[in-house]
Each structure stands twice: as structure tokens, then as C-alpha cells.
RNA sequence: GGGAGGUUAGCUCAGCGGUAGAGCACCUGCUUUACACGCAGGGGGUCGUGGGUUCGAAUCCCCCACCUCCCACCA
């Protein structure tokens, strides 16, 4: 107990009228940390069932953005809920080294110092980057903690930790030895800006307004010109053939002959290939094998040589000839066109809109070119991942993503996994002086295999997503097959992430998890939408509409931020985030605060009861317990279905509507009354409040923790925090459908009286008398039985059964006919109008229901209860019409 | 060219077979012994267009229109 007291927030015993998240949120974060509440256990240490979520690791040097806040809120909600359900729940945190991103940041820093990575060399550059990582890596943890994340920080991982690095090397070596990884010269996407190859996924195709140029090539041994169409004239310098469709009648005679490449005078063959579309351009295609993926394939089929005319820096090479070598690729284009124009060989220029691949990161056009790289052939692993989703071992939510998943995995191509970067996992391959390649776990093994220590390691690093693909197994201890964590938590249960990395990450984890882990890496994947601004626009720095989650936490409190994000997470939708909405949920927090404050001020000596005995409770108590039970059932069910939005709506309306607006008001007479009724009512109020705090805890952990600890009678030596309290479940014995219906009538009667005050512009406390004149027996009896409560809620002078004064205002609500005595009972103009409108509405609905009932097909085919419902509705409409019509006629 | 999603109250969105809901915004009253981050009451929608299925459609099916996003080597 004493240790708890020490880390209790220092807040005053007296509660302020307004809650102030800043005063207690950091204190509870510290409390959780100091009590080490979220450390999970291995199966050796506990027999509780396990539950595991792995964090999608943020960039180690990054700052959390609003998307992280969304995903973290959802992950924390899930893991807190499961933990409270008694699971050995683990939310494993960590960070990613983010190869390109981090390297670029450090390079930028070097540039500012007037140097570069090339200048300082690889070793010093890596030292710098590690230092940079050390400096920033605690930021992510701090930021997650400020959101209230209940991660097990003792298990924090970083993709370049020793253990994870070993996992990466092990996976690489095994895949290599299985023949799934190989090195070769193929067409890759080259980013001249980043100076590295990138994978297909890192290329974004953008529609570009360009030109289609028609260039005339001379045919050898004739005066004939062969016109080809191209969008990239500069690549002609690397042409090694012209291709036409084999069946194209225009070019039959030319197949097998040669053309002379303009500008360079090279003799190139004219070949026939199916890939050529006779309808496009001139029907003849220039073939540049080393700078176009299609041409590469054509060249392979025809055994054509390739020439590198564009270098890795985006400039033309010496192969491009003396006039062009050294020029930037775009400058070369102009120069080539100019030269062709002079020679009269540029025979046409048309506007042409086409798609050009751009580097996702750098933004510049990607240069397709042949390069020696490492590739991972994921074909059969992809089939495994495909099957896992098809047969439900992995559930994607929303399931609309299944098709996308299938399409991508069915048409998957080898994955280019090498990057010409320095920051990352260096490829575990060594070369002997003879150029022999040895793949091994480390230098010693490589030396043993090669029979020499004169080895040079491959200079490339692996794609960041390669290590990310191993995250589910590597963080849990793989390749150590005896790892207790792996045995306890693998397969993990839930993955929450954005759809934008479905292929980059999720699919690849599925492949690697199945391959190395022997099972799916996670059973369910919850894909979130994109967080947008209040108007639904994408957040971007240039637009200046970026919302920083930590600033939002400062302004509204972490719980309000979390509640908002969870409440807006509806499947398949982007999330428009309006700070106004967050203010609304901050108000909700304040409501919870004040409800508790009120309860604490009126409960006397009552304590939160261990068990609640239903016997002898009055109707309002039985009612709120019934509502609570149904809410608990609903919330659990919606959490289970990952419908956090629906769960949050229900929590909000239960607490604010049922508990505050109605129950607390209903309980007030007893709470302010004598000692006969007060203790029991106070107990129920405390009980419901305490259970409600538990119910709300996964969404609003700080506030619920703060308030829960203020409630009297909780044995904190048993359960030190609400974070570890049992999550409420529905209690069917308290659910009372009939009682809830009767209460509905009571509520409507009270509302009708209140409406009348507004209609008549009466004083809030104007003396009113209410007569219950008739109606449905059950409801009437209940309203009369609860007469005292109705009187206090509706602020009535008196309430009686029987016929009211002649000039009273009459209405029928929820089956109860009532007459309200008002001093000046004349209907005003506005009221008459409203009555008229209401009668019209009733007449309209009556016609519609009558028509339905007059239709024999409806009566025959519709379910009995629907027909009965319609009949009852018709009767109710008629009763109400009669009352209102009499009312209107009587004045 | 394929695929997915969207089109419901002024705004942002739920609902997805029995004639419409929320939050915010708006209007009208309120120092009511927890809360103005409050209380009570209210106005506001032919659920994108056109067909079809059904006793009955915002809800299922088809067409169209307009948005958004993925995927795709026609130079």
C-alpha cells in the first residue's frame, strides 16, 4: 500500500468543478511505470492464456504523427481490454531503423556541416547514425507513454538490435540456401536521387503530360525510312534493335534486315516480337534493353545485347557518344531532339499523356535500368500467405481488402532486397579475390566456407522491409526456437496498422511468418483508414493542416484524444478529425468527473460493495443495473468485432444519458433524503460508477484510474489499479426488458411535461398538475407507482390518477393518456400550429399503416410480429389522434 | 485497362430489409442543492439519378453520374 501512496497523484482530496487532465495524466503514467503493471509473463511463469499485439514499429528517429496516435489508441484499447479480461496480454513495443529515411536525415545534417557521407566514409557515417539513433530513440517511448500506451517496455525491440540482426542474417542465409535468394543482373527501379535500387512497391506511377516523338531510322541498303514512336528519345542512344509485330503487313519485308541508328550510326537488327502493338504509334518500337523493362524482355527473347547509356547518377554515359556523354538525362533529351531536327529525322511530335514511375520517397522519375542486385523469389511463400487469408487463418478487416491481397500476391514478382545504402542490415555475403560469393551468418563462417580470410563483404544493405517482415518472429526471440516468448506469444493475435503498408509489411510478415515461424504471424489484421482534417482533406505540411497528436494531448488530454480516435474508427473509412469533436469528448471526461464528484459528495458512509444483492432494490436501481448489464454486453461484443466506434458511442450514451441524465436524477431524492433509503441507493450508485469506470478504462485509462482510486471501499491490496481490475461482463439476472419498457414510458411522460413548459413559455418551476387519465394498463400503473419520481423529475405540483380538469392540456405518450393542468390553458398560435402539424403527420402515417394492413399480401407474408406491430401502431396512432383532435377542438 | 470504397440533417459520419440516427453547428428557455466542458426543449433529411427484386428498400440487385484510393510494362 505504501508504495502506491507514494506514487499517487498529489491532487487535493477536494475535487475541482472542472477536471484537468494535465494534473493527473502524467502521474498515472508514472504509476503504471513504477508498478511495472504491464510486464507480461511467459508460459513458464503463468498459465493465463496469452494475448499479443506487436506494435508496427515507428521510425526510431521519428515523431509520432496522428496516424500513430490512432493506431496506438486502438492497440492500447484492445490490449487493456484483454488484460482486464484476465489474459496474459502483451503489447510489444519497438522501433524501426528506417534505412532510407534515417540515412537521409543524417546526410542532411552532414550537408549542413559542409560535409557528406562519402567524405567521412562508411565507418564514421555509421557511428554518426548510431549516435543520432541513441539521441532520438527515447522520444518514441515518451510519446507513446503520453498517450497512455500500456506497452511492456522490458521487451522493447529495435530492428538493428543484436538479436534482430541475427534473425535477419539467419533468414537471409536460409533463404539463400533454399534457392529463394539469388544475385543477378536484372531490370530494377533505380532512384537517381537516392542512388539506390528500390522495390516495385516504392515506385509510384504518376500521370504525366509528355510528348510522343516519331523518329525516322534509315533502313540499311535502301532509301526507306522506318519510323518509330517514343516518349524518351534520349534512350535511343542505347538502342540495339527495332521491333515490329510479326504479323504486321507493313513491316513484313523489313523483318530480319537492319536499320541504322541515327546520331550514332550503329547497325541494329529489325526483329519481330509479339509484344509490339501494331495499333500504337507507328507499330515499330525502338528497343533499349538496359533502360526499359519491356525492351529488356524483348532483348532477352532475341538475344540482343544491352548498352548502359544512362549512368547511376542519372547522367548519360560515355556509351552515349561524345555529344551526349555526361549530360543529365533530361538535358540529353533536348540535345537529341535538336540533333534529330537538324537532320530532319524528327518527323512528328504529339502530345501524349502517359504514366511514369516516380520515386515514392524522392519524388523524381525512376530510371528503369539493369543492375546487379539481390532478389528474393517469394512466389511459393506468397501462395502460403494467399491461402492463409483464403482459409481464414488470417482475418483481414475490413474484408474488402481480401481481393486486393489476392490480386497482389497472385501476380507477385521477385523482390529486389538490396539497397545501395549504408544504414541497415549489411548483406551477409562475402567475395573472395576470385569473385566467388559466399553467403554465411558471419565472417568466420564465410571464411571457413571460402577457405580464405581474404574476403570482402557485399557493400549493400537490405531493404528495411526485409527486417520488418521478420518482426513478429524476431521480436519474440527467433531464430532461437526454444525462446519462451516465441512459444508463449506466437502466433500473435492482432495487428493494427494502416492499409497503406498492406503489401510493404503485412503481406511480407505473413510470408516470412509462415515460412520461418511455422504459423501465421497474427490471426486478425485491423486496417485503419487515413486520418484527415476536419474537412476530409489529407494532412500535409504544405497545406498546414497537420494535427500533432501531442499538441492535441496538451489541449484536450490524452483520454479525449483516444476516445475521439477510437470513436471515429469505422471500417473502411478515412477519419476526418475535427478538434471540435475532441472538445466534445473532453466534455464527456468532465461529465464523468463531475458525476463521480457528485456521487462522492452524497454517499455518506457507503462503500463500493463487493457483491450487490438484487433483492429489495427499487425500480430505478433495478433499471440502471439492467441498462448497465446490457451496455457491458454490447461493449464486449463490439470490442470483439473490432467495432470500436459503436462501442464508444454506447459508452458515451450509457454514461451521459442513462446514468447521468436519468439515473442520478432519479437517485437524488433518495440521496438527499433520509437514512432509510440512502445507503442502499448510494451503494448501487457506487457499484454502477465503479463498474462504469472499468468499462471505460480501455478507452480513457487516465481519468478512470484517477477516479477509481477515489472511490471508497476498493481493496487496493488486491487489485492495485483499475488497469488490472476485471472487465465487466453482462449479468443476465439484472436484465429486465419489461422494466426498461416501463421506464421508457416514464421518461416520455416526464419529457412531455417539460416540452409543455417550453411550448407555453412557462417558468421552469411553474406549478403544474398532472392527471393520468388512462391508457395501457402496464405503463399507467408504473407511472403512478413511481409517482414521486415523476413528480420530482417533471417538477410537478401534483400527480393523480383520473380525469383532469376540463381545460387541461391533453396528450398520449407511450400509451399513457395524460392531462396537464396549466393556469392559462389557452393554446397559443404556435402551439395550435404545432398540433395541426402533428395531426397531419399522424394522419399520414395512419394512411400508410392502414394501406399496409389492407394489403392481404402483407398480412399473409410478413412475419406475424411485424403485422401485430403494425396493428398496435395503428391503434396507438388513433388513440393519440383522438386526444390531440379533442385538444384542438376544445380550445 | 482492372479493382476497392464513397454519395444519408448546415458540417463530419453511423445505420444497411419493416417509412431515418449521432456528434458538432443552429434556435428557444434556464444561477435547478455534480457539471455552462452544464440543464431542459426545439427546428432541420423526397437517404446521388434511373430501373428491378420484395407485401415492404436508405438498406438487396442492375445501369448511370460524380468523388476518393489502390493495382497495371502499350513504347
pLDDT digits (tens, 9 = 90+) for A691-720: 999 999 999 999 999 999 999 988 887 888
A793, A666 contact by CB (below 8 A): yes
Q: Distance of alpha carbon A116 from its chain centroid, rounded?
A: 38
User: Can you tell me the distance from the alpha carbon of A492 to that of A510, in angstroms, rounded to the nearest whole number?
Assistant: 12
Task: Please name the nucleotide lying closest to A855, CA to C1'.
Answer: B55
Task: Please name the nucleotide lying closest to A589, CA to C1'.
Answer: B37
Three-class secondary structure of residue A199 per DSSP = coil
A149-188 burial: b if 16+ Cβ within 10 Å, else e: bbbbbebbbbbbbebbbbbbbbbbbbbbeeebbebeeebb
CA count, 13 A, side-chain hemisphere, A25? 23
Which three three-digit cell numbers place residue A421?
Answer: 545504402
In this prediction, residue A56 carries a pLDDT of 95
What are the angstrom distances between the C-alpha of A773 and each of A252, A667, A784, A806, A819? 100, 27, 11, 12, 7
Contacts 24+ apart (CB under 8 A), A719-725: A720/A4, A720/A35, A720/A37, A721/A31, A721/A32, A721/A35, A721/A37, A722/A693, A722/A694, A722/A697, A723/A32, A723/A37, A723/A38, A723/A80, A723/A83, A723/A84, A723/A150, A723/A697, A724/A37, A724/A83, A724/A84, A725/A84, A725/A694, A725/A697
Which residues 384-413 of chain A have a CB under 7 Å from nucleic chain B? 400, 403-404, 407-408, 411
Alpha helices of A513-578 — where are they, by DSSP H?
Answer: 549-556, 558-568
Closest Cα partner for A160 from A470, A485, A415? Answer: A470
As a whole number, the mean pLDDT across chain A is 89
User: Can you tell me the distance from the alpha carbon of A324 to that of A711, in angstroms, rounded to the nearest whole number?
Assistant: 81
A15, A597 contact by CB (below 8 A): yes
Q: Give me the helix-helix angle, A701-708 and A678-696, nearest 10°.
A: 150
Q: Which residue has the cell 548510431?
A: A130
User: Can you tell me the distance from the alpha carbon of A657 to that of A190, in angstroms, rounded to the nearest whole number?
Assistant: 60
In this prediction, residue A7 carries a pLDDT of 42
Task: Please name the nucleotide lying closest to A599, CA to C1'.
Answer: B34
Residue A535 CA and nucleotide B30 C1' are separated, in Å, by: 34
Residue A881 CA and nucleotide B52 C1' are separated, in Å, by: 38
Q: Give me the helix-helix angle, A737-760 and A829-854, nearest 10°.
A: 140
Is the shortest CB-to-strand distance from A285 to strand B under 7 Å? Answer: yes
Three-class secondary structure of residue A149 per DSSP = coil
Please state whether beta strands A241-244 and A267-272 pair in parallel, antiparallel, or not at all (unpaired): parallel
A230, A213 contact by CB (below 8 A): yes
In this prediction, residue A1 carries a pLDDT of 35
Q: Which segment of A241-250, A433-442, A476-485, A662-671 scores lowest on mean pLDDT?
A: A241-250
In this prediction, residue A4 carries a pLDDT of 42
A334, A324 contact by CB (below 8 A): no
List % helix, strand, coil for chain A (3-state, nearest 5). 50, 20, 35
- H or E segment and range at residue A809: strand A809-813
Helix (H), strand (E), coil (C) string for A568-636: HCCCCCCEECCHHHHHHHHHHHHHHHHHHHHHHHHCCCCCCCCCCCCCCCCHHHHHHHHHHHHHHHHHH
Cross-sheet strand order for the sheet of A429-431: A437-439, A429-431, A456-457
Closest Cα partner for A708 from A20, A28, A23? Answer: A28
- Return the higher-pLDDT residue of A493 and A838: A493
Average pLDDT of A561-570?
A: 91
User: Can you tell me the distance from the alpha carbon of A664 to that of A30, in angstroms, rounded to the nearest whole number?
Assistant: 33
Residue A539 DSSP class: P
Residue A569 CA and nucleotide B9 C1' are separated, in Å, by: 22
Using pLDDT thresholds of 50, 70 and 90, give the confidence band for residue A360: confident
**pTM, full prediction:** 0.92
- H or E segment and range at residue A462: strand A461-462
Q: Give me the helix-helix angle, A549-556 and A579-602, nearest 10°.
A: 40
Which residues 207-236 of chain A have a CB under 7 Å from nucleic chain B? 229-232
Three-class secondary structure of residue A429 per DSSP = strand
Residue A437's beta-bridge partner residues? A431
- Which DSSP string do the residues of A75-133 spell out, in sequence order? HHHHHHHHHHTT-EEEEE-EEB--HHHHHHHHHHHHHHTT--HHHHHHHHHHHHHHHHH
Using pLDDT thresholds of 50, 70 and 90, give the confidence band for residue A557: very high
Q: Which residue is nearest to nucleotide B29 (CA to C1')?
A: A758
User: Can you tell me the distance from the alpha carbon of A758 to that of A754, in angstroms, rounded to the nearest whole number?
Assistant: 7
A269, A243 contact by CB (below 8 A): no
With pLDDT > 90 as the criterion, what percentage of chain A qualifies?
50
A57, A96 contact by CB (below 8 A): yes
In this prediction, residue A443 carries a pLDDT of 94
In this prediction, residue A891 carries a pLDDT of 60
Please state whether beta strands A181-191 and A157-158 pair in parallel, antiparallel, or not at all (unpaired): unpaired
Q: Distance of alpha carbon A772 from its chain centroid, rounded?
A: 53
pLDDT in tens, A730-761: 999 999 989 998 999 999 999 999 988 888 88
Which three three-digit cell numbers place residue A558?
Answer: 490524452
Q: Where are the beta strands (DSSP E) in A221-293?
A: 225-230, 241-244, 258-260, 267-272, 284-287
Task: Please name the nucleotide lying closest to A590, CA to C1'.
Answer: B37
- Which DSSP string do the residues of A770-783 spell out, in sequence order? EEEEEE-HHHHHHH
Average pLDDT of A537-543?
A: 78
Is the shortest CB-to-strand distance from A22 to strand B under 7 Å? Answer: no
For A111, residues 6+ apart whose C-beta sits below 8 A from its C-beta are none
With pLDDT > 70 as the criterion, what percentage of chain A qualifies?
98
- Return the higher-pLDDT residue of A10 and A168: A168
Average pLDDT of A333-362?
A: 86
User: Can you tell me the distance from the alpha carbon of A99 to that of A101, in angstroms, rounded to the nearest whole number?
Assistant: 6
Using pLDDT thresholds of 50, 70 and 90, give the confidence band for residue A572: confident
Average pLDDT of A260-282?
A: 86
Q: Give me the helix-helix angle, A619-640 and A737-760, nearest 10°.
A: 110
Task: Please name the nucleotide lying closest to A21, CA to C1'.
Answer: B37
Using pLDDT thresholds of 50, 70 and 90, give the confidence band for residue A3: very low
In this prediction, residue A11 carries a pLDDT of 39
Is the shortest CB-to-strand distance from A759 to strand B under 7 Å? Answer: yes
Which three three-digit cell numbers place residue A606?
Answer: 457507503
ipTM for the assembly? 0.94
pLDDT in tens, A829-878: 777 778 888 888 888 888 888 888 888 888 888 888 888 888 888 888 88
In this prediction, residue A37 carries a pLDDT of 93
Task: Please name the nucleotide lying closest to A649, CA to C1'.
Answer: B22
Residue A299 DSSP class: H
Is the shortest CB-to-strand distance from A350 to strand B under 7 Å? Answer: no
Using pLDDT thresholds of 50, 70 and 90, give the confidence band for residue A459: very high
- Which DSSP string do the residues of A475-488 spell out, in sequence order? TTTTT-TT-HHHHH
Amino acid at each position: 500500500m505504501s508504495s502506491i501512496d507514494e506514487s499517487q497523484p498529489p491532487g487535493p482530496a477536494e475535487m475541482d468543478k472542472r477536471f484537468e487532465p494535465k494534473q493527473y495524466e502524467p502521474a498515472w503514467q508514472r504509476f503504471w511505470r513504477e508498478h511495472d503493471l504491464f510486464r507480461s509473463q511467459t508460459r513458464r511463469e503463468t498459465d493465463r492464456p496469452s494475448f499479443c499485439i506487436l506494435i508496427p514499429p515507428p521510425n526510431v528517429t521519428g515523431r509520432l504523427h496522428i496516424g500513430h496516435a490512432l493506431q496506438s489508441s486502438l492497440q492500447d484499447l484492445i490490449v487493456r481490454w484483454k488484460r482486464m479480461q484476465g489474459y496474459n496480454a502483451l503489447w510489444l513495443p519497438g522501433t524501426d531503423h528506417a534505412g532510407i529515411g534515417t540515412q537521409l536525415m543524417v546526410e542532411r545534417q552532414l550537408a549542413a556541416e559542409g560535409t557528406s557521407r562519402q567524405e567521412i566514409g562508411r565507418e564514421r557515417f555509421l557511428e554518426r547514425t548510431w549516435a543520432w539513433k541513441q539521441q532520438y530513440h527515447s522520444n518514441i517511448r515518451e510519446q507513446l507513454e503520453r498517450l497512455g500506451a500500456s506497452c511492456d517496455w522490458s521487451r522493447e525491440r529495435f530492428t538493428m538490435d543484436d538479436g534482430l540482426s541475427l534473425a535477419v542474417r539467419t533468414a537471409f542465409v536460409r533463404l539463400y540456401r533454399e534457392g529463394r535468394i539469388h544475385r543477378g543482373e536484372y531490370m530494377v527501379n533505380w532512384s537517381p536521387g537516392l542512388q539506390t535500387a528500390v522495390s516495385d512497391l516504392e515506385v509510384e506511377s504518376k500521370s504525366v503530360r509528355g510528348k510522343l516523338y516519331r523518329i525516322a531510322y534509315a533502313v540499311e541498303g535502301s532509301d526507306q525510312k522506318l519510323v518509330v514512336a517514343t516518349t524518351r528519345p534520349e534512350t535511343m542512344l542505347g538502342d540495339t534493335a527495332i521491333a515490329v509485330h510479326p504479323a504486321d503487313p507493313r513491316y513484313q519485308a523489313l523483318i530480319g534486315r537492319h536499320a541504322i541508328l541515327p546520331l550514332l550510326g550503329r547497325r541494329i537488327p529489325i526483329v519481330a516480337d509479339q509484344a509490339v502493338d501494331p495499333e500504337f504509334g507507328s507499330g515499330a518500337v525502338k528497343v533499349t534493353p538496359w533502360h526499359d523493362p519491356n525492351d529488356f524482355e524483348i532483348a532477352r527473347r532475341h538475344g540482343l545485347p544491352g548498352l548502359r547509356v544512362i549512368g547511376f547518377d542519372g547522367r548519360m554515359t560515355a556509351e552515349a557518344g561524345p555529344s551526349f556523354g555526361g549530360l543529365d538525362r533530361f538535358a540529353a533529351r533536348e540535345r537529341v531532339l535538336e540533333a534529330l531536327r537538324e537532320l530532319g529525322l524528327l518527323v512528328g511530335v504529339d502530345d501524349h499523356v502517359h504514366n511514369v514511375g516516380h520515386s515514392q520517397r524522392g519524388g523524381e522519375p525512376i530510371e528503369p535500368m539493369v543492375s546487379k542486385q539481390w532478389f528474393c523469389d517469394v512466389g511459393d511463400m506468397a501462395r502460403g500467405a494467399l491461402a492463409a487469408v483464403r482459409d481464414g487463418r488470417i482475418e483481414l478487416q475490413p474484408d474488402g481488402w481480401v481481393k486486393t491481397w489476392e490480386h497482389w500476391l497472385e501476380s507477385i514478382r521477385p523482390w529486389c532486397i538490396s539497397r545501395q545504402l549504408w544504414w541497415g542490415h549489411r548483406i551477409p555475403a562475402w567475395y573472395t579475390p576470385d569473385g566467388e560469393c559466399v553467403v554465411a551468418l558471419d565472417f568466420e563462417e564465410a571464411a571457413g566456407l571460402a577457405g580464405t580470410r581474404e574476403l570482402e563483404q557485399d557493400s549493400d544493405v537490405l531493404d528495411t522491409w526485409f527486417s520488418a517482415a521478420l518482426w513478429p518472429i524476431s521480436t519474440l526471440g527467433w531464430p532461437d526456437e526454444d525462446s519462451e516468448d516465441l512459444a508463449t506469444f506466437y502466433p500473435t493475435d492482432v495487428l493494427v496498422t494502416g492499409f497503406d503498408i498492406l503489401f510493404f509489411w503485412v503481406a511480407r510478415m505473413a510470408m516470412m511468418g509462415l515460412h520461418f515461424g511455422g504459423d501465421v504471424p497474427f490471426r486478425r489484421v485491423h486496417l485503419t483508414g487515413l486520418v484527415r482534417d476536419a474537412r476530409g482533406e489529407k494532412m500535409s505540411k504544405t497545406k498546414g493542416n497537420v494535427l500533432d497528436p501531442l499538441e492535441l494531448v496538451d489541449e484536450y488530454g490524452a483520454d479525449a484524444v483516444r476516445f475521439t480516435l477510437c470513436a471515429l474508427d469505422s471500417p473502411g473509412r478515412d477519419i476526418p478529425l475535427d478538434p471540435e469533436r475532441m472538445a466534445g469528448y473532453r466534455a464527456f471526461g468532465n461529465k464523468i468527473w463531475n458525476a463521480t464528484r457528485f456521487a462522492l459528495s452524497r454517499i455518506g458512509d457507503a462503500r463500493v460493495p463487493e457483491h450487490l444483492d438484487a433483492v429489495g432494490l427499487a425500480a430505478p436501481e433495478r433499471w440502471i443495473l439492467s441498462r448497465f448489464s446490457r451496455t457491458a454486453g454490447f461493449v464486449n461484443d463490439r470490442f470483439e468485432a473490432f467495432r470500436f466506434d459503436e462501442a464508444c458511442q454506447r459508452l458515451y450514451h450509457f454514461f451521459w444519458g442513462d446514468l447521468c441524465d436519468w439515473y442520478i436524477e432519479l437517485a437524488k431524492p433518495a440521496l438527499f433524503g433520509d437514512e432509510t433509503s440512502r445507503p442502499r441507493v448510494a451503494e448501487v450508485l457506487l457499484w454502477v460508477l465503479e463498474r462504469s469506470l472499468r468499462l471505460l478504462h480501455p478507452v480513457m485509462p487516465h481519468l478512470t484510474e484517477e477516479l477509481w482510486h477515489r472511490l471508497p471501499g476498493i481493496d487496493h491490496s488486491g487489485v492495485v489499479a483499475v488497469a488490472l481490475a476485471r472487465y465487466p461482463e453482462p449479468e443476465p439476472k439484472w436484465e429486465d426488458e419489461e422494466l426498461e419498457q416501463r421506464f421508457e414510458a416514464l421518461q416520455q411522460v416526464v419529457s412531455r411535461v417539460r416540452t409543455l413548459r417550453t411550448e407555453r413559455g412557462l417558468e421552469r418551476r411553474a406549478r403544474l398538475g398532472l392527471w393520468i387519465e388512462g391508457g395501457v394498463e402496464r405503463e399507467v400503473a408504473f407511472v403512478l407507482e413511481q409517482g414521486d419520481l415523476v413528480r420530482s423529475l417533471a417538477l410537478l405540483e401534483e400527480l393523480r390518477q383520473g380525469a383532469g380538469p376540463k381545460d387541461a392540456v391533453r396528450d398520449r405518450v407511450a400509451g399513457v393518456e395524460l392531462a396537464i393542468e396549466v393556469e392559462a390553458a389557452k393554446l397559443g398560435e404556435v402551439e395550435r400550429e404545432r398540433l395541426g402539424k402533428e395531426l397531419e403527420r399522424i394522419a399520414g402515417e395512419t394512411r400508410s399503416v392502414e394501406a399496409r394492413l389492407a394489403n392481404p399480401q402483407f398480412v399473409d407474408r410478413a412475419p406475424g410480429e411485424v403485422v401485430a406491430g403494425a396493428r398496435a401502431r395503428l391503434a396507438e396512432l388513433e388513440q393519440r389522434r383522438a386526444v390531440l383532435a379533442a385538444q384542438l377542438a376544445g380550445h
